[in-house]
Structure 1
């Protein structure tokens, strides 16, 4: 399978019997080609049962090559519809290839400068990876908090429904108790009125009895006095 297009300049691919082994760059003991191959390892792939290797180009770059690199970068950013702002893997990939091509161009003229740029590139990549991990962790944390908040909201809504149901039950109980109180008050009022009527009747009866006894007593006393005069 052929490798994807790259902004890094490579030589024409060649067939090989076995895959290459990676080497660490060392400006003192290696040639420029060795350093280039260590900084930008050769691309390897199999096609139709054959193994191919494509080394990075060791041809020095001209001013026109740099201008063409910039134009090609802009062209591919537009073709692949890379976002201009925010996180964009496409834009990151193309700019990373552009930086690698610049490292290649610098290394051909000065291997030490190329190795230093390699350190800068790797440090940038580690920093970006750290920020990406932090971003993903923050997103995951935010999602957890959002889910917890949503769950908390759901719990509160359920609690509200439960409290409203309890409120309705209590209101029904209040109405029942009010009805019972009114019934008791009505019953007691009727009983009190009945007792008062009964009491008034008893008082009236006693007054009439007392009046009758008084009249009877006066009559007896009158009779006794009349008999005494005779």
Structure 2
């Protein structure tokens, strides 16, 4: 009788592995602020036991939410396989805008949530040593706020409209903003202790940006 020979089997690709799908099932809250320390909790599966090279990305208000940017390493409160907690950022790298949230795990697999995060407003923060700090306003005018001056190119109707908006802003934030009746001839952004209100142009505004504020620290 012929002796039976053992059957040998082999994998076509020994390195192949089935990778579980990365999924975002939900996040809370639905509406949040950026740059204030507010924490977004993202739930799902296969985020990974630790962050490693993983990241959470938000739409960037600086380009009209056309691109994503990632939170700072110090913005992450916790990271587990099923839940991520992260502070919603607003800094020099980007300003979180209303839009989708994207997660990348340590295997560099990326998924975009199918739910919209609404960002009510953002407060600029300053980065030092990869940590974001919320700045405090200096009492420039002696009355707890700032005085703005329109340059000579701003027409009266535009200045009045800005003054009304500034009043609403003041009432909502308790920040003492004022628009001075005195005009300024300054037409450039400079560190000169003059807070200038002026119209922008294609020469001094990035693409897709209608207006911006320049702050100094």
TM-score range, shorter chain: under 0.3
More helix by share: 1
Using the size of structure 1 for normalisation, the TM-score is 0.19
Using the size of structure 2 for normalisation, the TM-score is 0.20
More strand by share: 2
Larger CA Rg, structure 1 vs 2 = 1
